């Protein structure tokens, strides 16, 4: 089953082209590492997938549809790139923020799912801070709260924009193990933007290399066999990715 499909996608910021003729198809159970240099259009592509940006041309479909109703959005979990976007004095508890991940299945004006929230708090080892205000937490704790918000609705598609950036090594390893388990046991499709080309080969099954257009999209084995990738990645980068993958 195709989960995300991009067809002839063009996106411009004003007159500036950001993405040109982007084509790819991500299937259920894929674990895709989305890599590319700064300004290559990774975050723009994520925004198009999520329906936050309207393309100049072409389309992105999610689960076969160009736009999803709110209740269908429960299939998607999203972790934004920056975690310092919010007002640090915002009077909101950890539990309140995580519950926002369940808003797509809100009933009678309220979000339900206390058990799911508790399970997620436990998974990410933040049960002890569930009633604390978000602004009182460290960067790593805040990152885990937003990860919990992305995972709490048990999504079928998980879109993560540089998720490991603020995490301690131990927590980071646990988090990536959790992602792997979700991908392998539950068939959750994962798209992960990352600059960690050394680490992505360890987890992801596919690589989408973007530089305003798709430079490479396919499995790691194919990537590692590909000789003309050296001109884009440099031999060292390609070596690092492939070394971790094997």
Which residues are at the interface with another protein (CB under 8 A)?
A: 50-52, 68-73, 76, 78, 80, 85-87, 89-93, 96-97, 99-100, 103-104, 106, 109-111, 131, 133, 135-136, 149
Cβ at position 52, least distance to another protein in Å: 5
In the complex, minimum distance from the CB of residue 122 to another protein, in angstroms, rounded to a whole number: 20
Rounded to the nearest whole angstrom, what is the least distance from the CB of residue 130 to another protein in the complex?
A: 11
**Closest to another protein by CB, 136 or 221:** 136
Minimum gap (Å) between residue 120 Cβ and another protein: 16
Report in angstroms how near the CB of residue 16 gets to another protein at its nearest.
15
Q: How far is the CB of 71 from another protein (least distance, A)?
A: 8
Paired strand residues for 59: 7
59 or 72: whose CB is closer to another protein?
Answer: 72
The secondary structure of the chain as a DSSP string is: -EEEEEEEEEEEETTEEEEEEEEEEEETT-EEEEE--TTSSHHHHHHHHHTSS--SEEEEEETTBSS--GGGGGGEEEE-S-S--S-TT---BHHHHHHGGGGGG-BTTB---HHHHHHHHHHTT-GGGTTSBGGGS-HHHHHHHHHHHHHTT--SEEEEESTTTT--HHHHHHHHHHHHHHHHHH--EEEEE-S-HHHHHHH-SEEEEESSSEEEEEEHHHHHH-STTHHHHHHHHHHHHHHHH-
23 or 105: CB nearest another protein? 105
Nearer to another protein, 15 or 85 (CB): 85
Which residue's CB is nearer to another protein, number 20 or number 93?
93
Among residues 89 and 186, whose Cβ is nearest to another protein?
A: 89
């Amino acid at each position: 089953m195709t989960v995300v499909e991009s067809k002839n996608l063009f996106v411009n910021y004003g007159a500036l082209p950001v993405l040109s003729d982007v084509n790819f198809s991500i299937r259920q159970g894929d674990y895709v590492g989305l890599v590319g240099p700064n300004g290559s259009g990774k975050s723009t592509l994520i925004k198009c997938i999520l329906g936050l940006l309207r393309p100049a041309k072409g389309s992105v479909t999610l689960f076969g549809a160009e736009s999803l109703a709110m209740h269908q959005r429960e299939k998607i979990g999203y972790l934004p790139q920056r975690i310092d976007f919010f007002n640090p004095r915002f009077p909101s508890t950890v539990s309140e923020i995580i519950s926002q991940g369940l808003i797509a299945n809100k009933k009678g004006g309220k979000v339900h799912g206390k058990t799911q929230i508790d399970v997620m708090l436990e998974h990410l080892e933040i049960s002890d801070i569930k009633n604390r205000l978000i602004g009182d937490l460290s960067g790593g704790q805040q990152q885990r709260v937003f990860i919990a918000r992305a995972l709490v609705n048990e999504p079928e598609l998980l879109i993560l924009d540089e998720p490991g950036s603020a995490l301690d090594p131990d927590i980071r390893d646990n988090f990536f193990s959790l992602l792997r388990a979700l991908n392998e046991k539950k068939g959750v499709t994962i798209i992960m933007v990352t600059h960690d080309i050394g680490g992505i080969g360890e987890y992801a099954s596919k690589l989408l290399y973007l530089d305003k257009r798709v430079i490479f999209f396919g499995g790691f084995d194919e990537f590692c066999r590909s000789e003309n990738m050296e001109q884009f990645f440099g031999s060292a980068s390609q070596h690092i990715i492939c070394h971790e993958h094997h």
